[in-house]
Structure 1
């Protein structure tokens, strides 16, 4: 296991996590970036009970982020009136992982955002794990 984050570092607040997430989104390359312009970014301390129940997660510390919406490949011109696609980041689980792993907070937020963007493009968790493994 990596060294834990140094005790002298201050935990970022929701605005700082959002700024890191927006910096990641700004680096998404052009044909993909244009499909993210209407995706709403939300930073909360924890997922709500309904989200946790839907995913079968008992401990809210286990969920760092989630994509809510229909993947691009499933969208239709007949879709209307629904909620906008959203990427939710959960600050306290991200901070918990940061402390536990020692991974730099910007790298950790980047990883979670890219993962959720992958869901927006219709990739499954298995697809993303395979891509990450191939990139190592």
Structure 2
């Protein structure tokens, strides 16, 4: 019997290579489709993007020191802060950062599609101006 701790099981669906941006995007799209119907009309036009890491400018603006510490970002004006006469802005955007998500996936052993869903729903929560408690409730509904 060995005194070394048992290795964590390999995450389900892992094939030995890191999922690429297209695979994460497909997971994000699938998660997006699980949003409750009441929210879907308010999500039209929200862009989902996959990037490797947040750039230095984004990290600095959020006072985040290490790029592995940011898995997702909402850019836009939350619905709770919009005016009816405001127009002409850029579309709302949710960016998922592939490498930090993969690191969290490896460290936690969470199923990757569930982790992508969690990050996506959290960022969509910012679109609605939700609190963290509201975001957890939304995730439970989706």
TM range (shorter): 0.7 to 0.9
RMSD of aligned C-alpha atoms? 2.3
Please list, as runs of the form range in 1=range in 2, the aligned pairs for 1:117-128 lying within 5 A after superposition. 117-125=124-132, 127-128=134-135
Q: Residue 3 of structure 1 aligns with which residue?
A: 8
Partner residue, 2:3 = none
Could you report, residue by residue, the CA deviation over 1:94-121 in whole angstroms, capped at 9, with x for unpaired residues?
0000111111100100100111111111
Any gaps of 5 or more consecutive residues in structure 1?
none
- Residue 24 of structure 2 is aligned to residue 17 of structure 1: yes
Partner of 1:49: 56
Tell me, yes or no, if structure 1 residue 92 matches structure 2 residue 71: no
Aligned to 2:89: 82
The count of corresponding residues between Structure 1 and Structure 2 is 132
Correspondence for 1:101:
108
Once the two structures are TM-superposed, the CA of residue 4 in structure 1 deviates from its matched residue by: 6.2
Q: Which has the larger radius of gyration?
A: 2
Q: What is the aligned partner in structure 2 of residue 116 from structure 1? A: 123
1:68 aligns with 2:75: yes
- Residue 37 (structure 1) aligned to one of 44, 62, 65: 44
User: What's the TM-score, normalizing by structure 1?
Assistant: 0.87
Instruction: Confirm or deny: 8 A CA contact 1:4 1:100 kept in the other structure.
Output: no
CA distance in structure 2 between the partners assigned to 1:113 and 1:70 by the alignment: 17
List alignment gaps of at least 5 residues for structure 2.
1-6
